[in-house]
Amino acid sequence: MNRREFLLVGGASLAALHSGRAFSQSHRGALLSEAAREDLPLLFGTDYYPDQTPEHLWEEDAAAMAAAGVTNVRIAEFAWALMEPEEGHFDFRWLERAIGILHAHGIAIILGTPSAAPPNWLSQKYPEVLEVNDQGVTLSPGSRRFTCPTNKTYRHLSLTIATQMAQKFASTPGVIGWQIDNEFTLGSSGRCYCKYCRAGFQEWLRAKYKSLDTINQLWGTVFWSNTYTDFDQIPVPLPSGAPPNPGLALDYDRYQSYANVSFMEEQLAMLRKQCPSHFITTNNVGLVDTIDMRDLYRNLDFAAYDNYPGFFAMSAGDGTDIPSQALVPTIALGHDLMRCARDGKPFLVMEEQSGKAGQPVFSPQPEPGQIRLWSYQAVAHGAMGINYFRWDTTNFGAEEYWHGMLRHDRSHSPAFDEMLQTFRELKSLGPDALHAPCEASIALCYDLASSWALSIQPGQPKLRYLNEIISWYGAVRATQAGVDLVPATQDLSRYKVLCAPVMYVVSAQQAETIRRFVEGGGVFIAGFRLGVKDEHSRIVDTPLPGLLRDVMGVELLDDQPLYSEKQGVSFTGPLTGPAAPCHIWADILEPQKTEVLATYTEGAYAGKAAITANSFGKGKAVYLGAHLEPADLGRVLGIFLASAGIKPIAAVKTGVEVTRRSAGGRTWTYLLNHSSAPQTVSIEGVYRDALKRSPISGAIGLEPYGVRVLMQG
């Protein structure tokens, strides 16, 4: 799908070198280390397209960028046809001139490898590189992201053009880094199902499982006479007479993630060798689950994120998609997910919305202050730089309505001065603030095995993994606590609480990690459908919640997908309050030695447990068996989080977001007013306004869409 379609479809499924520091030459062939932080230049720039801009304007553009405070640009990620106009014939002269002009004005360059959009000669000569979608239809060339990640011909040609670029510009003054490809997660089809992917899938399975006997046993292929006697028999999950084997489908999702990551890593290995002094990343939107972001960014220097909040607002505005109250946490979740893709390391916003944005239809112009606000929201959640998309608005092509810092007539856009103000302010914060870790006392389990398995067999068509993640994240963030997105496979002892909405798949490693966490004094709060399946998408053969039954202190009496029938929840004990409706799903719990905190009110299971709390070791395990609406979920989770010692930083009204980053004995508290009305925030302690350089305390005013950054230490 194109970028706008992703966000609208996602919504429907959900209800930024003048510092004078050169990049260090000492980190050759390795990830940037913590010690290398001071060598990374401030990255506050824009995405620029000299390939789409008449050459007589390049000098004018570079001078204007420098005057605006732009430190860097990203270029060339869609310019393959100009760099290799015919196979094996490379022409970088225009790019050399563009880089020279930009560098002469003190602007650093991030080069993009162009494999997201191949030239027409390539797809004409090698039609086998075209992607096949999930309906078995071969995509047509003519746009972008229509190629197969497995195909060896396409991998070779992509690596060839990237290698030629790297060899040409490895020592070119001004070039500081690379973006590999562009937005791996945003194609019209989330995955490829061609014959090359089928062969690649079979090879991947052979390496993973070693034998067909193992595959047949783990997938249960005896069902419907699907036993395999040759690896070549194993299909991809294209439409057939009935739904595919869930084990096969889950492993195919894993394979497609692997295929894209390995495609990227072929270019990464080459760039490490050819350009050892340059940083390397790739950009993506965060809330797409077709690729495991932790795998994608594991060997890159930092994550890079593309942020277009206006699309979410478009979706909310039609009254059928994202509720308006969910917009702020949904955008924040994308930032946190990208930060956590590299274990909490600061990330770069490679593309930040700078005005109206879209393709066939487009979002409205952001309100005055909103672009600055969205930029600060990214920084508040861990960004260390912002690139506004794009410098000048193109007059042609599919994105001619995707507005940049300059309009179609090259006059300043409505938010131009606002973006320049943001550049100045964020630079004034300095690298310590921009690289400080985000504080997080809560972990939210985000695991693609559960997401993929649930999409294959949701049980109830309205039950979607990302919806639940967003609902829980919004409820948790309402407490102002920082949140890390984790797979629950590593040590969790630094967190007070682990939340796990719809942890449908639970591996033995995850179960043991959670068990140790709770035994050590942590609070584990799980949602319905807990531990139903193992990592091979087989339903466990023990009473649910399976591997976590002892931790939770309950057994599942029954589970109920809810459609038109009425169901409700009555609360007791610390949860005492108004009864709440229950929609979509209800796990009926049978307590063992656990405290019942809510029961169902309707039907055959009236009076049966809906929410329980179990003391286990030094900690507590809470089971939310009922699907609650956001307001009720927020109330319930808020009570449990408060009892775990989670306290708000400031007294705020709805629409004000509070986050905190800290390092070296200093903290930076971000107050973000996402509402169109002035707000007042009450906060204890004496601070220094990091932007105005003056003391501040007590009641703090925020203008509509306003921002304050408070510093201590």
Q: How confident is the model at residue 665 (pLDDT cuts 50, 70, 90)?
A: very high
The DSSP-derived string for 556-605 is EEEEEE-SSS--EEEE-GGG-SS-EEEEEEEEEEEESS-EEEEEE-SGGG
What is d(CA 65, CA 538) in angstroms, rounded to the nearest whole number?
56
Reported residue count of the chain is 713
Nearest of 268, 262, 266 to residue 282 by alpha carbon = 268
Query: What is the predicted pLDDT for the residue at 30?
Result: 57
How far is residue 453's CA from residue 538's CA, in Å, rounded to a whole number?
10
Pairing of strands 442-445, 72-75: unpaired
CATH number of the 650-712 domain: 2.60.40.1180
What are the residue boundaries of the structural domains of the chain, listed by start? 3-127+138-190+246-434, 442-643, 650-712
pLDDT tens digits for 359-379?
888 889 999 999 999 999 999
pLDDT for res 6 = 40
Burial class (CB in 10 A: 0-12, 13-18, 19+), 105: middle
Cα–Cα distance for residue pair 374/6, rounded to 1 Å: 19
pLDDT at position 41 is 84
pLDDT digits (tens, 9 = 90+) for 381-423: 999 999 999 999 999 999 999 999 999 999 999 999 999 999 9
Residue 36 has pLDDT above 70, yes or no: no
Q: How confident is the model at residue 3 (pLDDT cuts 50, 70, 90)?
A: very low
Identify the pLDDT of residue 461. Answer: 97
Q: Quote the tokens at residue 460.
A: 């109830």
pLDDT of residue 20: 31
Residues of the chain with pLDDT > 70, as a percent, come to 93
Confidence of residue 318 (pLDDT cuts 50, 70, 90): low
pLDDT tens readout for residues 420-478: 999 999 999 999 999 999 999 999 999 999 999 999 999 999 999 999 999 999 999 99
pLDDT of 21 > 90? The answer is no
pLDDT at 28 over 90: no
Residue 686 has a pLDDT of: 94
Least confident of 114-123, 279-288, 582-591, 639-648: 279-288
Token output for 121: 């000669």
pLDDT band at 609 (very low <50, low <70, confident <90, very high): very high
16 pLDDT more than 70: no
First and final CA of the chain: distance in angstroms?
A: 47
Q: If pLDDT is split at 50, 70 and 90, which confidence band does 311 have?
A: confident
CATH number of 442-643: 3.40.50.880
Position 26 confidence tier, pLDDT thresholds 50, 70, 90: very low
**What fold characterizes domain 3-127+138-190+246-434?**
TIM Barrel (3.20.20)
Reply yes or no on whether the pLDDT at 711 is more than 70. yes
- The predicted-structure confidence for 523-563, as pLDDT tens digits, reads as follows 999 999 999 999 999 999 999 999 999 999 999 999 999 99
Q: What is the pTM of this model?
A: 0.94
Average pLDDT taken over every residue of the chain: 93
